[in-house]
Amino acid sequence: MEIRPYENILCSKDISGTEARPGSGLEPETKTIRLTAQVPPEGWNRLGTKVLPKLRSGKDLQIGIDSLVSVDSNMEAPLKYDLKLILEDLGLADKIRIGQIAEYELNVAIFLLYGINRDEVDYIMETFLIVKRKDIQKYGDFRTKLTILKIYNEMKTAMQIGKPYQTMLDPPPADPMLDVKGGRG
């Protein structure tokens, strides 16, 4: 596990060469620490019991998750379903996405590759009645269709003006050169 200061250093006041004393009005310099790692399975529990409590001693703690797993294609849907149920049980279903945007972008790229126009995409999306019903129950609108049509518009525009499409993925895919095994990282 690598522990390094984050590139941005936050400082509320310039206090170099001065000692902060209670009541002096000077605040100590604040630095942000970022932990990045490829953690083997045997270290996962220790992160929760050793590292996270230590991090909670600071302020503005942000913890993200970026997991990759390869599974047989016939196991993808059941695994996604199980993960969705677990995230719902944990109250995190609205905070953690399971590859939805990437799937939407891939679908739109295929629509464009086969010359399917926007009206046809709209029609195709309307045939997914169960998805539509669930989206309307959950969001009040057909969120899946609206997102796919938004991506379609953005990809089509990018193609027309000759600029690269800007993914909706957040965070966006990393530069492969930053891979710990093969690049600068």
19-68: pLDDT as tens digits: 545 555 666 676 777 666 667 777 777 777 887 788 888 777 777 666 66
On whether residue 141 sits in a domain, the answer given is: yes
On whether residue 94 sits in a domain, the answer given is: no
Q: How many residues can be counted in the chain? A: 185
On whether residue 145 sits in a domain, the answer given is: yes
d(CA 124, CA 152): 13
Mean pLDDT, to the nearest integer, of 107-118?
A: 92
**Other Cβ atoms closer than 10 A to 125:** 19
Q: Which is nearest to 98 in space by CA: 78, 125, 124? A: 78
On whether residue 48 sits in a domain, the answer given is: yes
On whether residue 169 sits in a domain, the answer given is: no
On whether residue 14 sits in a domain, the answer given is: yes
d(CA 26, CA 20): 5
How many structural domains comprise the chain?
Answer: 2
83-92, 143-152, 154-163, 171-180, range with the lowest pLDDT: 171-180
This prediction has a pTM of 0.46
On whether residue 95 sits in a domain, the answer given is: no
How confident is the model at residue 117, as a pLDDT?
Answer: 95
Q: Is 39 helix (H, G, I), strand (E, B) or coil?
A: coil
Domain that holds residue 8: 2-55
Structural domain ending residue among the three candidates 55, 70, 89: 55
Question: Terminal CA-to-CA distance of the chain, rounded, Å?
Answer: 13
Question: In this structure, are residues 48 and 29 in contact, taking their beta carbons and an 8 Å threshold?
Answer: no
Give Cβ neighbours of residue 149 (< 8 Å, ≥ 6 apart): 118, 121, 122, 125
On whether residue 104 sits in a domain, the answer given is: yes
